[in-house]
Amino acid sequence: MRLTSLDEMSETLGLRLGQGLAEARAIHPSVEVVDENPAADRSLLEAIADWCDRYTPLVAIDGEKGLLLDITGCAHLFGGEELLLNDVMLRLFQMGFDARGAISGWPGLSWAVCRFGHGGVVADRERETIAAPLPVAALRLEQDLVGALRKLGLKRIGDILPLPRAPLARRFGAQVLLRLDQMMGRVEEPISPRRPVPVLSCERRLLEPIRAEEDILHLAGQVALLLLPSLEARGAGGRVFELVLFRVDGKVFRIEAGASQPLREPQRIAALFSERLKAVHDDLDAGFGFEILRLNVLRHEDFRSTQTDFEGQGQQAASLGDFVDRVSARLGCHVLQGVALRQSHVPERASVFLPALDMPAASKRDDLHLGFQIRNRPVRLFRYPERVEAVAEVPDGPPFRFRWRRILHEVLRAEGPERISPEWWLDEEDPGERDYFRLEVRTGQRLWLYRKGHYHQDTAPGWYVQGVFA
């Protein structure tokens, strides 16, 4: 067992990372040791990353102990880069964390200054002056490569900067030059945020924290009103919204709600979260209150304004959409489902059940093209075709009689066949063509049967019931 992390007191006692536990206790017998829990450490780092969303939506996790924040265009909201960094460090210190931060134009330089320097804001003209005294380990290189550089006396970044690039690349590889260029700003290094960036976002920072659900919903409606001009300018309405609540102690709650149709109205958006707050009431611990409330639009679609006619058809459509939104927000998105068409000719694969919130908008459903007449399909389609024993005219005639569910049926009328072949682009072991017949039996039932395969000298095709018309 070895030491993986140390506090300041342990460092003053002469302990070091990677040291054996037995050796550490021999040096200081009363040292307090806690088992490492990587899952808990990762969860804590993700919680801090959620908290950092108050400064910028572009937050990335860097390794096991670091975060990268892209604050481009955000620093002026806090009075400048220096004040932003001071605010981050002060709040983390008040929450009990010993953290170090740096701001520069390049992630590699900020990473190095945080871990091997004193932190702070690094100006563009100071990058070489700040980077030169840092050790070569600040280049984010592997340990073997760092050891090889040190053996040749290249212990500082300032020792590498004046060297010719070609011999350096031949001796140590291109990784050294890449990391050096990233630190000096010669090569762009993008940051991959851990969460998708919302399409639109508005927030409200509060002087006094709020705790009551009524206050949260009231502010959600006000923030939704701020989103209205942006949605109108795009000609769009939101389909998926996210309400982010920042608690005073740093805890962040994210509540997501979807809509069956694109929404702009602040009242309806707030009503979505009214149902969601009722559903998550027990899990939403306000604590000492929330100091920041943010409303994000995660997904939007084209918004088409419709005028209500004299018969109230528009009001009925709106009430149906409002019902779907409220029930899905309260009980879950899978409670209400609808049928959507798929690109398949096979009946049991031609449609799929989707949550009502994920169904296309009403304006788009009108454009869907059905490849068959609705009247030619049964009212009830079985989930799985049922095997029957049939006597039919060879080779392509309909059945005369068949036994289904232990009952013998005699056919009075038949229509068909209608041949349906599976998709040619699917690589199936037994695709098989199907010849469908619409049959009326003596008892009055109208069934949809199909023959899979063809009659051969040694084998006979199989007959199946796909559905019933009435």
**Run means of pLDDT, 10 residues per run, the chain, 470 residues:** 88 87 88 90 94 93 92 91 95 91 93 91 90 92 91 92 91 91 89 90 92 91 93 91 93 89 88 85 85 93 65 56 76 78 80 77 45 66 91 89 94 91 72 87 93 82 90
E-assigned strand segments in 139-220: 200-210
Amino acid at 282: D
The whole-number pLDDT of residue 254 equals 92
Owner of token pair 């005219």: 393
Q: Check: CB of residue 437 under 8 Å from CB of residue 399.
A: yes
Upstream peptide bond of 38 is cis (omega within 30 degrees of 0): no
The whole-number pLDDT of residue 367 equals 41
Distance in angstroms between the alpha carbons of the first and the last residue of the chain: 73
The whole-number pLDDT of residue 428 equals 65
Say what the pTM is. 0.70
C-alpha to C-alpha distance for 419 and 403, rounded to whole angstroms: 23
Radius of gyration of the chain (CA): 33
* Dihedral (CA of 35, 38, 39, 40) sign: positive
C-alpha to C-alpha distance for 332 and 328, rounded to whole angstroms: 5
- Structure token pair of residue 145: 């490569």
